[in-house]
Copies of this chain bind each other. A is one copy, B any other.
Amino acid sequence: MTQLLKVQNFMLSRDGFGAGEGQCMERPFGHADPATMGAWAFATASWPGRTDNAGSRGLDDFLIRDFHHNIGAEIMGRNKFSPHRGPWTDHEWQGWWGYEPPFHTPVFVLTHHPRPSFTLSDTTFHFVDGDPAKVLEQAKEAADGKDVRLGGGATSVRQFLDADLVDTLHVAVLPDYELGAGTRLWESPDELLDRFHRDVVPSPGGGVIHHLYWRK
């Protein structure tokens, strides 16, 4: 059974940015507005934060509820985990997600700065240095036969794309939302077509165009 490396539900502005500039504690996505970027996802029945019994169960919901399907580990960039930069001054910061992080698997945080692993509920965060291939190997071993999610941000996804390690990508592009600056995934969605097949599927719910890539 092949273990895939997958990018899922990655939200992107029309001009190719996954997050804006100026990330800080109050603005995890910098000047990008997460409520706008994620509106299509928050409207689905399967969005993990949902506590009522409402929400759509059409196309967008299929994409959202696939999130945990056969995933055994996540790899994320340091800047997805934390607004801090440089060496850890203390170990108080444990991510944005509270005591019940939505991952439920081992998570490998890419950083040059060592830090001990810790566990919150059923998610364990490991802090790893090394090139993408080596980190992927660690994550695959931890995933125990299941696939590995590459959780972003854009800089980390680019790193793994450049090393040709990504097997599938789902990028949700907002056709009416521009950021002008921030962390960039691509100049154009066509860049990847030399190495990937692609389906382009406008959400009938509106507001987002799904780009589904898989390796040739």
Contacts and interface: CB of A to CB of B under 8 A. Distances in A.
Nearest to A57: B214
Interface string A58-70: 1101110110010
A205 B57 CA distance: 22
Contact of A199 (B58, B65, B168): B58
B201 A59 contact: yes
Interface residues of A, number: 26
Interface in A16-68: 45, 53, 56-59, 61-63, 65-66
A198 interface: yes
Contacts of A210: 59
Residue of A58, A65, A69 with most partner-chain B CB within 10 A: A58
A197 interface: yes
Contacts of A167: 57
Contacts of A192: none
Interface of A: 2, 45, 53, 56-59, 61-63, 65-66, 69, 167-168, 197-201, 203-205, 210, 212, 214
Given A45-B214, A58-B214, 7 more contacts: A2-B53, A57-B197, A58-B198, A58-B199, A59-B212, A62-B66, A201-B201
